[in-house]
A and B are shown apart, each in its own frame.
Chain A
Amino acid sequence: MTVISSRRFFLTASLCSVLGPRLIFASQQTTAVAIVDQAVSKINQIINSGDTQTQMLRSFERVFNLYADVPTIAKYALGRDARTASEDQLKAYVKAFSGYFSNKYGKRFREFIGGKIEIISVVKIKNYYSVNTLAHMPAYEPFEVDFLVSDRSGQPLVFNLIIEGVNMLLAERQEIGALLDRNSGNIDALIDDLMVP
């Protein structure tokens, strides 16, 4: 685990990145941290903006669209059924999921209102990076939130969140699976359900 203690880390890391392919690890790691750093500073602005819930949810949606790989999250949540869906269905599903996702996780981040998310460390796990943060809140012990970053979509994006050990991808796969069961496996009905706020 690399502890991020000072700006020197960033300087060293970016210096390393120009020194050659052997140090590509440091470069990818710096990018992962940089992405989360940008996302987190935007989230911090939102939770301290004093905006209304509707405004905040809209701002969170912009942050998610910029920094999260929502289509990959959506497809993982659908699981095996993603393979049986037609291309149009899949497109409509990803769109519906994206709205559902921003609304749900926007509300979750809104609960850190008046608080601050702080990057603590970064660790490489097989082929992605886990950027570990603490969400500080006024009347509670801080929450551990890990942002998992991968560049396999073509650009570095957050593809999973671990909030106090709870894995978002697992939770969403179970939830979407249950929604699909409730609709007897009908993807169009699932899409309709996701559209309802």
Chain B
Amino acid sequence: MKNFVLIIVFTILGACSAPLEVGISDPFEASNRQVHEINKSLDKNIVRPIAVLYGDSTPVQLQSAVNNIAMNFSLPSNSINYILQGEIKSASNSSMKFLVNSTLGVVGIYDASSQLGIKSEKTDFGETMAKWGIGEGPYLDILVLGPSNQRDGIGRMVDIVFDPVGLIGVGAKGVATFTSVAFGLSARSQFRESIDSILYQSADSYAQSRLFFLQNRRYELGTNQALPYIDPYN
């Protein structure tokens, strides 16, 4: 199974699997910048106004409950990705967390497992591919989804298409989708100052989003490109 997926992935990525040495690879900058402008106008006209309305009119406890449900429904997918990464302990933690939070935590409203000391980091298929040795490839700004790179863009699509929550039932899938959209809106509202400062107040919002995404992602994945050493006193 793992080999089969590997073959498909390597075929798709083809020549792009060489890891970056340093910095930023952005051969599609011109088209990426166009997508960035479209995404900005989507945010300005649709996402941000809805997010601000939702964030300001919904009590924090309710937002927190909805966010917890969304995080709970991401656990089955995390678990499968951990199996693909060969991280059996993390996979079993994710599964255990999902079982505990879905039952004791009432469909995930309460993060009951954390109180029991069950810890689980989030993961995704992009990280799975990174663990298999696939490099991030060129930077990509994807319509609606925003900043990404070739590997993680493909990863996101695989995660969406193969999300095991769909196997639980249409109802569960519906709740998972609804709460994850609400989670996104809640975050867009909570971090509006930071996001606005990148998108609308910076001199080059494209370059800033690209830098933020790449650094944050490399840090999350713990790659050797993360955390460059900078000494301003030299």
CA distance A74 to B208 in the complex (A): 17
B187 touches A140 (CB 8 A): yes
Choose, from A9-17, A33-41, A125-133, the stretch at the interface.
A125-133
A167 touches B233 (CB 8 A): no
List which A92-125 residues lie within 8 A (CB) of chain B.
Answer: 104, 107-108, 110-111, 114, 125
Contacts of A182 in B (CB 8 A): 203
Report if A107-B194 is in contact (Cβ < 8 Å); known contacts: A73-B232, A165-B220. yes
Q: B67: nearest residue on chain A (CB-CB)?
A: A139
Q: Distance (Å) between the CB of B201 and the closest chain A CB? A: 8
Query: Interface size bucket, A side?
Result: 35 or more
Task: Convert B75-95 into 0s and 1s, putting 1 for each residue whose CB lies closer than 8 angstroms to a CB of A.
Answer: 000000000000000000000
Residue B231, interface by CB 8 Å: yes
Main secondary structure of the interface of B (DSSP, over half): helix
B203 touches A171 (CB 8 A): no
Residue B169, interface by CB 8 Å: no
Residue A166, interface by CB 8 Å: yes
Residue A159, interface by CB 8 Å: yes
CA distance A138 to B231 in the complex (A): 34
Main secondary structure of the interface of A (DSSP, over half): mixed
CA distance A162 to B226 in the complex (A): 11
A179 touches B215 (CB 8 A): no
Task: Convert A74-90 into 0s and 1s, putting 1 for each residue whose CB lies closer than 8 angstroms to a CB of B.
Answer: 01100000000000000
List which A159-197 residues lie within 8 A (CB) of chain B.
Answer: 159-160, 162, 164-167, 169-171, 174-175, 178-179, 181-182
Q: Distance (Å) between the CB of A19 and the closest chain B CB? A: 28
A170 touches B186 (CB 8 A): no
Residue A153, interface by CB 8 Å: yes
Contacts of A125 in B (CB 8 A): 229
CA distance A153 to B63 in the complex (A): 44
CA distance A94 to B179 in the complex (A): 45
Contacts of A175 in B (CB 8 A): 202-204, 208
Residue A59, interface by CB 8 Å: no
Q: Distance (Å) between the CB of B211 and the closest chain A CB? A: 6
A166 touches B216 (CB 8 A): yes
List which B192-234 residues lie within 8 A (CB) of chain A.
Answer: 193-194, 197, 202-204, 207-208, 211-212, 215-220, 226-233
Q: Which residue from A104, A138, A150 sits with its C-beta under 8 Å from B197? A: A104
B232 touches A107 (CB 8 A): no
Q: Which residue from A107, A138, A141, A152 sits with its C-beta under 8 Å from B193? A: A107
CA distance A80 to B127 in the complex (A): 37
CA distance A150 to B193 in the complex (A): 29
Residue B4, interface by CB 8 Å: no
Residue A72, interface by CB 8 Å: yes
B residues adjacent to A (C-beta < 8 A): 60, 63-64, 67, 71, 186-187, 190-191, 193-194, 197, 202-204, 207-208, 211-212, 215-220, 226-233
Closest 4 CB pairs of A and B: A165-B219, A178-B203, A76-B232, A178-B204
26 CB-based A-B contacts, threshold 8 Å: A72-B233, A104-B197, A108-B197, A111-B190, A111-B191, A111-B193, A126-B229, A126-B231, A128-B231, A137-B190, A138-B60, A139-B64, A139-B186, A159-B232, A159-B233, A162-B227, A165-B215, A165-B216, A166-B215, A167-B227, A169-B232, A170-B211, A174-B208, A175-B203, A175-B204, A179-B203
